[in-house]
Structure 1
Amino acid sequence: MAPALARTRRAPRETLQELLPKIVLAPSFALILVFVYGFIVFTGFLSFSGSKLLPDFSTWVGFDNYVRLFRHPNWIVSLKNLAIFSVLYIVICSVIGLALAIFLDQKIRGEGLLRPIYLYPMALSFIVTGVAWKWFLDPGIGLEHAMHELGWDSFSFRWIKQGDMAIYTIVIAAIWQSSGFVMAMFLAGLRGVDNEIIKAAQIDGASTLTIYRRIIIPLMRPVFLSAFVVLAHLAIKSYDLVVAMTDGGPGTATWTPALFMTKFTFGRNEMGMGAASAIIMLMMIFAIIVPYLYSELGQKK
């Protein structure tokens, strides 16, 4: 009887221990369910409605908002800018991040000092980065002005004011901010490679370049994939950096889908079309995240 009584007394405590994590997580789960997934569903409904200034579910227009969206010249410009920005941002960040990681992986002196210096830009918000680079690239107060003050009167760098070049200034600022973060990811991957494999290759007479090209970099495929997913996600939702640097200008030269969505939803009272653009951006992110999750889950099985 005593053991049975002890089990009966322990039962409420064990039950509480099992329920406590669920109780603690329940409010967060409920908030995420409502304010993330709930609003995604709400935005989806808006994209099929004739909403203008305020939500209007009494008027259903089907796919008209999506048709109007892809016929709008500003949306086409936004997609082209996103393509330019994404390709350059992802490729250059990956190259610079890998180069910095390989440099630090040589066990150089001062690694403890260089690593936080490279990572520091990522600690800043994109708004701060955008304002700083806007000042730096402004011909009146930035780099061009400084060169003129030093006597180099022929120096000219007005990309931020030129419609065909302004998007590249956004790329420069974004690369400056994110390269250190990518470096940290690659450095962690490099430090995780089995040293026995490297020593075996060195015994066989493989050069350092060959070891990196044939052994180390292929083993870092998951890190490359993770870096791609993170950078692509940041590129698709790029908004604050663009607003801080150019606010989409000159004209619509640096518009991105996120900026288009904001301006049409809140600036031009086209809530239905703005919601449609938001759903398209969500589909872009899903197109990146879903294959990544499928690949990761497939490897674990």
Structure 2
Amino acid sequence: MAFRWSRWSPQLALVPALIITLVAFIGSIGWTMFMSLTRSKRFPEYFFDPSEWSRQYGRLMKDDGWAIALQNMLILGIGSFLAIVFGFVLAAMIDREKRGEGFFRTIFLYPLAVSLIVTGVAWRWMFNPSFGVQGALHSIGLTFINFDWLSNADTAMYGIILATVWQGAGFYMALMLSGLKSINTEIWSAAKLDGVSFWRLYIEIIIPMMKFTFLTCAILLSLGVVKAYDIVVAMTNGGPGQSTWVPAYFTINAYWVKANLGYASAAAVVMLAITGLIFLPLVLLTAWRERSREARVS
């Protein structure tokens, strides 16, 4: 009896977590999909109507606000890729200069400890034309410099990108530094003996060896871009106009402002599909690496 209990106790300990996952995660996804096929407005309606599929999703695809949100998501993703670039540069510098590694790693990781809301508010102050960076520069005579990006629809997204890169570069630096530490030290020694230049060493040897680290960073960045909401609300609240709308902001706005739960659910389902398309390559890549490792061992 004791043997059987010791055998099944780990599985029984996982039952509460499994129930929570089924109800709170999978159940919520199923409920949202169902709501997207109903006429739900402020409150849910539990009357399924097959015609609502074309109505809700067709309307979504024709909505200019949704088109702007998808375009801004793409712009944010491309611009935020600079966080990975800066993260790799910082990691390479720290890895080469061993002195003060712990200090600089802590400094560059510090923005990660600040929430996106705090980051957004801080950068909104910095972009304020009166008492932000522009005001400070104008006070010393540099009146030709304009740094009021958030008040201009053409530059507001670039301000959000700048704040996002500042907040996330330290996180990707930590991942890159971990990847650099995993490279065999003999490779560095051999490259040094062969007289390989600094740029060739990183471009032709180090970066190709870290391709899985870069891929992991890119997927994590993409997932963060799809669900971006906090920093947009803190910095611009979607303005000026609809110039900084992103899918998550559009979804929340569809429910709380337009009072349309069915429409908001349709937008959320499309976001889920986009997330799945991004996450699926990571799952397939992980499975492929595990199979390759098992094949080498056997």
Whether TM-score is above 0.5 comes out as yes
**TM-aligned CA deviation for residue 140 of structure 1:** 1.9
The answer to whether residue 44 in structure 2 is matched with residue 55 in structure 1 is yes
Counterpart residue number, 1:230: 220
Letter in 1 for 2:33: G
Q: 2 CA distance for matches of 1:122 and 1:188? A: 17
Q: 2 CA distance for matches of 1:241 and 1:13? A: 53
**TM-aligned CA deviation for residue 199 of structure 1:** 2.2
Letter in 1 for 2:55: D
Q: 1 CA distance for matches of 2:152 and 2:97? A: 43
Q: 2 CA distance for matches of 1:14 and 1:137? A: 65
The answer to whether residue 19 in structure 2 is matched with residue 30 in structure 1 is yes
What SS does the aligned partner of 1:105 have?
A: helix
What SS does the aligned partner of 1:62 have?
A: helix
Letter in 2 for 1:25: L
Q: 2 CA distance for matches of 1:242 and 1:18? A: 50
Q: 2 CA distance for matches of 1:156 and 1:205? A: 47
Q: Give the structure-2-normalised TM-score.
A: 0.93
The answer to whether residue 222 in structure 2 is matched with residue 239 in structure 1 is no
Alignment of 1:1-301 (within 5 A): 12-58=1-47, 60=49, 61-90=52-81, 92-301=82-291
What SS does the aligned partner of 1:63 have?
A: helix
Deviations 1:59-110 (A, max 9, x none): 52122101000111111111111111111112x1111011001101103421
Q: 1 CA distance for matches of 2:146 and 2:196? A: 47
User: What's the Cα RMSD here?
Assistant: 1.3
Q: 2 CA distance for matches of 1:290 and 1:185? A: 21
Q: 2 CA distance for matches of 1:221 and 1:244? A: 34
Deviations 1:85-143 (A, max 9, x none): 111112x1111011001101103421111101000111111001011111111112211
Counterpart residue number, 2:296: none
Q: Give the structure-1-normalised TM-score.
A: 0.93
Counterpart residue number, 1:8: none
Letter in 2 for 1:267: V
**TM-aligned CA deviation for residue 267 of structure 1:** 1.4
Unaligned segments of structure 2, at least 5 residues: 292-298
Q: 2 CA distance for matches of 1:79 and 1:33? A: 30
Q: 1 CA distance for matches of 2:126 and 2:152? A: 15
Q: 1 CA distance for matches of 2:42 and 2:14? A: 36
Letter in 1 for 2:153: G
Letter in 2 for 1:77: I
Q: 1 CA distance for matches of 2:132 and 2:221? A: 28
Q: 2 CA distance for matches of 1:155 and 1:196? A: 49
What SS does the aligned partner of 1:19 have?
A: helix
Q: Between Structure 1 and Structure 2, how many residues are aligned?
A: 289
Unaligned segments of structure 1, at least 5 residues: 1-11
What SS does the aligned partner of 1:238 have?
A: coil
Deviations 1:11-54 (A, max 9, x none): x2222222222222211221111011100011011111111111
Q: 2 CA distance for matches of 1:161 and 1:136? A: 12
Counterpart residue number, 1:7: none
What SS does the aligned partner of 1:151 have?
A: coil
Deviations 1:272-294 (A, max 9, x none): 11111101111111101111110
